[in-house]
Structure 1
Amino acid sequence: MVEFRNTGMTAWEHDVEKIGVEYSGDSNLITVDPPLQLLPKGSRVHTGQSYQFPFLISAHNVGQVKLAFAVVRLLPSGKTNRISDPVFLSMEITTGLPHNDQNSGSIQVTAGPLHVPVELDGMPAGLTPLTLPHIPVGIHHVVVKGKEGVMESDIEVKPNSIHSITYSPEKSGVLIETKESLLLENSNPVLTLILSNFFIILGVIITLTTVAVISIVVISGEIKRIKFVVSHVLPYSFQKESGRDFAVETRRRISSDDVRFDPVAGLFKQGDKKSLKLKITNMGTKPIVVDTIRIEPGVCRIVFREIFDDDPGDCEVSQAVSYIDGNGKEKSRVIHLQYRIMPRDLDLSWFFERFIQKKGNIIAILKIKNNNPFPLEADSILLASGEERGIELVMDVPDSDELSVYKKLRILTENEYSFPLSVKIPYNKGIFLFFSKKYSESLEWFNQQIDLGNDDGTLKRYRDLIKRKMDSSSEVNTMDSSDIRDHEPDVKRKVDAQEGNATQVSLSPSLTGFPDSLLPIYKPSALISTDRLGIMYRALRAADNIEVAVRVLDSGVIPASQVELQIQAWRSLKHMNIMQIKFWERDPVYFLEFDLPSGAIQSKKRIYSLADLKVPIPARAALRIVRGLAEGIDYIHRQGVRHYLLEPSVIFLDDGLQPKISGFDTSALIQSGIPDDCWVIAPEQRNPEKFGNPGKKTDIYQVGAIFYYLLSGQVLNCFESISSLPSHFRSDYGVYDPIIKKSVHIDKNERYGDIREMIHEIDTLLQTFKK
């Protein structure tokens, strides 16, 4: 048995990543089987815990042998990456009689992420995950005691065999604990004393509790009497206004079983395997179990739901998710999974734009774009290569309370291949009532859906729009029904007076690339920056005429199924050197709103990102920018987040040259292929097999690359050791050479161990400018 203790920050598991121990010796005196021993599927070893990995060693000759074992991560390619230093064990092989261990085997017991007690033949053996070595050949009784029940198994151990047992609540019986079951022969004497005098202790506790409650009531009465006297003595302006105690209300609302299910929308290709992510948050006060995964109170976990549908277009399916609540009862919750399947051999994009009323009918405008090098037809409308056109879809009277409907478009390619494409339209009974000018009933329908727990942001936007329309009805006798759009408008419209014509919308010209569907919300005035994930605009928010920064994401770069998880992770970060996400939305496009950075003036021109900065810049300015950059990276590292793509286009300047980092975890982009022109990429990102896996030191490399770029105006080559240090460009820049050499070293083990070390050296250099 080879035992390793997890001293890292994350758990070892056999799930998305496969962790195990690998033998790397090369002695011909022995054979180690298996050379790689993985953790059992579904098991997890948390920080601070140990696990024993069984290996069978067969000797071929006598002599001295040096064994080497290391914890590794198994890659999809079949290769392994070490995540620990190797451990060396010396062994001397001598001749002798066969050892009794040849008549024994091993038993492995796992319970997924749970740590439950195990008994072997009636004796305590430890907590899962557990390996029981040197078990004599024969039948042995194994008992696994979980909170959901007890699982018993009879295992036949054979010579040199390894048996695996996985605890499953479905295979367990109900455990009823009694006083006798707790008072075992080897039980804790303190526990025995407590249980023996249980009723005496219980009586003392009840008495003390009663006295405490009476005292609190008496004290509360005195306080209220004092408050009553003060309220009559002090003037009204000094009296505290009455209000609700939100802390008390929150505590009352907390239930022992409150579970939040948040499905993540998926984007797939026709023919691919499809698994949707379901984010489950335990909002209650007791642990729950979902798919054998134990979720503690306040903890969020991700589970997957497989989809077998393969028809192209927008889709939605309902599934029941079963879970065991904090009281051990099995419950079920129906969730709605939404996803989009792209056609296998076509490149199409589409989104819902708005509703209009035309000749008494409610019309949905769907924008569809042909991204193929050949023309095609969508519902008999010809689309040339690269062309985007709107398709008018007539809406029927809704016969249910569904929030959306799905329409079928007929797509016809140049080789006469035809197929139906399902598209989602956010049309419902509330929209129908609005266009029927039944505004009160429409508002009531939207309120009912929101009260039922539907947290779709579109419902709230429609409701708020109808409220404003009703409030302004005393000033305006007629309502322009085209105001109902997928985003709430705040622009002036010209209404065609002729009955039967569609309502027209008058909008100011937008910047190139700014989505038309966002024009009712923002009035763009300038392009701030373009990066690999999208475009940042300077815009005027129509609701209050406040200037903000709006970042429109390119959904073609990051899969839609991962966007929201990454946005939520970045939104939780709050630091002066991180651009804080104020608002975001996904319909019809993913966009994020930030406070507008002040920028900096260079050559009488205001610039916002480092990408627009003319380099090189003075050393003092470079130090100030890089120090703030390092502070921001230090903060996200302490939150367990890595950036991995710290390009100048995602770094913005605020007052006093304070940098602000934009973007979020770009692991999806990194996995899909690193662009060749991305010069901040570290060696381990280009070639992990040679330089190791990316980590905190990857971000340190990128901060150093930015510093070098600001000082010299040059970019680095990640495959070559730096040859031209700052002193090569200016003789007085020799003081910056050590920081550059240390931070961008091609061997990550030679870089700073922590970015705080780099910050300390920058502070020392900044002090020289104050003298």
Structure 2
Amino acid sequence: MPPERAGRAAALILITALLFAILCPAVSGAGGPPDHANASPQGIESASKAPNENKGRDTPEETPTPLPSPEETVTPADTPTVATPEATTTDAAAGNNPNPGRQGAAPDWFVGFTLLALLLIVAATVLGARYLKRPPEEETGSAATILSGAHRTVLSRPPGFPPELAERYDRVAFVGRGGLGQVFSAVRRDDRRTVAVKIPVVYDEATGKTFMKEMRFWEDLAHENIVAVYSVNILPVPFVEMEFLPRTLELLEKPLPVETAARIAAGIAAGLAYAHERGVIHRDIKPRNILLADDLTPKITDWGMSTTLAASRDTSITGFTLAYAAPEQIAPERFGRTDARTDIYQLGAVFYEMATGKAPFSRENLAGLAEAILQKQPVPPSEINPDFAGLDQIILRCLAKDPADRYRSAGEVLDAIRAVMGGAGDERT
């Protein structure tokens, strides 16, 4: 039980105990002690000699019954005692009530107070029980919220989110973490719009430079199939604010229907074609980096491994996901440097998974997986899912080992998909 709840429960128990403490002594003394419970023979004799209250009336004067001597009061155990009318009258006159426990009834106001106190005790007990059974998340109030579709509890400021940004955002929730940064969903305080906020994993010089390089490439890309960047800043801490989409392609159950897979692949190809025309390549296309709008429009995110075509000779950046890696990323000395055709290979690997439900190559260890990517040919998608027979050629050409055997541009991939699917991925459809 949380400390706050334990303290409140203890307070409820204390209040109930105090009510009992106030009520019990009053109830125990409500009737008062029996007036003649311990009456002595002398007291009885005095009562029998009291003036007759009925004196002066027409009724004959009652003769007081003489008290028996001490010897006469002793009755053998086997001799039954018979109560005479005179004895009864004498007892009543002396105040010896046969039922001393009923002597001195409580006043009406005290009965009302007793009932009220009992009601308060019952109410406190019921409310305390309901409070203790209440789920913890109901207790957090504005500090916790459940985002629609996110299925997770959202803290006011989860661990890792910079406190310097608390005045700018609230309802912050952790979304995911990559090689360079971690992403949170948050609500802007000024206009209540839900956005994604990405910050560096660590604040050192190397990470900061790489992070800002990614933002520099990404900030200039404005396309419906690329996640939009709203703001980039280094103060009060380095962060980027971007479009928030709760789903990724990784979360969709696969294989997908042909039309859905083709439309998503066409959208990815369109976003890559736009970036390539501006001299930017991604180099880490995979299902996790494809966000989905409500209508399943794909949007490419996480341009941390991106670079310009002019700088792509630099092979020092080795961050990529092996299951979707192109041969030139594993063996650049054999297949050459990365370029726009690297993104085309990775698009083919994602398309293959949407068609078959698994990546083109899978092995139990990294060495075996890398060897398969460099040496093996993937099984045609239609052999696993016959519905994709018409798309085999497109997917396998994207997955060619030699970059020269692939499509020359992402625009060509888009045109090929549209030709087979009759306009799949076109905005007008």
1:519–1:670: structure 2 CA closer, same or farther, 3 Å change rule?
farther
Are the equivalent residues in 1 in contact too, given 2:348–2:395 (CA < 8 A)?
A: yes
Return 5+ residue gaps in structure 2 as ranges: 1-141, 144-153, 308-313, 362-372
Query: Which residue of 2 is the match for residue 680 of structure 1?
Result: 324
For residues 512 and 588 of structure 1, do their structure 2 counterparts lie closer, same or farther at Cα, with a shift above 3 Å needed?
same
Q: Which of 710, 714, 737 matches 2:392?
A: 737
- Distance change >3 Å, CA 609–CA 528, structure 1 → 2: farther
- Provide the residue aligned with 2:354 in structure 1: 710
How far residue 581 of structure 1 moved from its aligned partner, in angstroms, is: 1.1
Higher-helix-fraction structure: 2
Q: 1:721, 1:746 within 8 Å by CA — same for their partners in 2?
A: no
Which residue of 2 is the match for residue 698 of structure 1? Answer: 342
Q: Would you say the 8 A contact 1:553–1:589 is kept in 2?
A: no
Conserved 8 A contact 1:528-1:608:
no
Bigger RCO (CA 8 Å, 6+ sep): 2
Amino acid in structure 2 at the alignment position of 1:721: K
Q: CA–CA distance in 2 between the matches of 1:644 and 1:749?
A: 17
Q: Which residue of 2 aligns with 1:511?
A: 158
Write out per-residue CA displacement over residues 196-238 of structure 1, whole angstroms, 9 at most, x where no aligned residue: xxxxxxxxxxxxxxxxxxxxxxxxxxxxxxxxxxxxxxxxxxx
Q: 1: CA distance between counterparts of 2:203 and 2:160?
A: 14
Amino acid at match of 1:666: M
Quote the residue 1:578 is aligned against.
Answer: 226
Please state if 1:689 is matched with 2:333.
yes
Conserved in 2, the CA contact under 8 Å of 1:712 and 1:726?
yes
Amino acid at match of 1:520: E
Deviation, structure 1 residue 667: 5.2
Q: Which residue of 1 aligns with 2:10?
A: none
Q: TM-score by structure 2 length?
A: 0.54
Structure 1 residues 591 and 542: alpha-carbon distance in aligned structure 2, compared to 1, 3 A threshold: same
SS at match of 1:510: coil
Equivalent of 1:648, from 283, 287, 302?
287
Tell me how far apart the structure 1 counterparts of residues 356 and 296 of structure 2 sit (CA, whole Å): 18
Q: In proportion to residue count, which structure has more strand?
A: 1
Q: Is the 1:719–1:746 Cα contact (8 Å) retained in structure 2?
A: yes
Q: 1:701, 1:743 within 8 Å by CA — same for their partners in 2?
A: yes
Which residue type is aligned with residue 385 of structure 2?
R
1:674–1:686 CA contact under 8 A, matched in 2: no
| TM-score (ref. length: structure 1) | 0.31
Residue in 2 that maps onto 1:539: 186
SS in 1 for 2:187: strand
Q: CA shift at 1:627, angstroms?
A: 0.5
Q: Distance in 2 between matches of 1:684 and 1:640?
A: 19
Q: Is 1:721–2:360 an aligned residue pair? A: no
The residue type equivalent to 1:671 in the other structure is S
Aligned-pair distance for 1:673?
Answer: 2.9
In 2, the alpha carbon distance for the partners of 1:678 and 1:588 equals 36
* Partner Cα distance (1:754, 1:672) in 2: 23
How far does residue 769 in structure 1 lie from its aligned partner after superposition? Answer: 8.4
| 2:303 counterpart of 1:664 | yes
Once the two structures are TM-superposed, the CA of residue 570 in structure 1 deviates from its matched residue by: 1.8
Contact 2:188 2:194 in 1 (8 A): yes
Per-residue CA distance 1:645-674 (angstroms, 9 max, x = gap): 112222111242211111225258972433
Task: After superposing the two structures, state which structure 1 stretch, 653-662 or 622-631, moved more.
Answer: 653-662
Aligned mates of 2:385, 2:162 — CA distance in 1: 46
Percent identical: 30
Cα distance, 1:554–1:747 mapped onto 2, change above 3 Å: same
Q: Distance in 2 between matches of 1:752 and 1:537?
A: 36
Equivalent residues in 2 for 1:163-562 (5 A)?
A: 509-555=156-202, 559-562=207-210
1:625 maps to a residue whose letter is I
Q: Could you say what secondary structure the match of 1:552 adopts?
A: strand
The answer to whether residue 404 in structure 2 is matched with residue 759 in structure 1 is no
**How many angstroms does 1:625 deviate by?**
0.8
Aligned-partner SS, 2:422: helix
- Contact 2:200 2:238 (8 Å CA) reproduced: yes
Partner of 2:103: none
Give the conservation status (yes or no) of the 8 Å contact 1:531–1:649. no
Instruction: Quote how far apart the aligned CAs of 1:508 are.
Output: 5.9
Does residue 1:566 correspond to 2:214, yes or no? Answer: yes
SS of residue paired to 1:539: strand
User: Take 1:768 and 1:659, find their aligned partners in 2: how far apart are those partners?
Assistant: 16
Secondary structure of the 1:656 match is coil
1:685-728 superposed Cα distances (whole Å, 9 cap, x missing partner): 11100111111110110111111111112113432433322112
Kept in 1: contact 2:305–2:319 (CA 8 A): no
| Aligned-pair Cα RMSD in Å | 3.0
Are the equivalent residues in 2 in contact too, given 1:511–1:524 (CA < 8 A)? no
**Alignment check: 8 A CA contact 1:528 1:609 kept:** no
